[in-house]
Homo-oligomer: A and B are copies of this chain.
Amino acid sequence: MKKIEAIIRKSKFDEVKDALHQVQVNFFSYWDVTGVGNEKEGHVYRGVTYSTSDIQRRYLSIVVSDSFLERTIDTILKTAYTGNVGDGKIFVSDISETYRIRTAEKGESSLK
A-side residues, CB < 8 A to B, are 2-3, 5-8, 17, 26-38, 53, 57, 59, 61, 63, 73, 76-77, 80-102, 104, 110-111
How many copies make up the complex? 3
For A101, give its contact among B32, B33, B63, B90 (CB under 8 Å): B90
13 CB-based A-B contacts, threshold 8 Å: A17-B36, A26-B38, A28-B36, A29-B35, A29-B57, A29-B59, A30-B34, A31-B33, A31-B34, A84-B102, A88-B101, A93-B94, A93-B96
Which of B28, B38, B61, B89 contacts A63, CB < 8 Å? B89
Asked whether A36 lies within 8 Å of B31 as measured between CB atoms, the reply is no
The distance in angstroms between the C-alpha atoms of A97 and B63, with both chains bound, is: 14
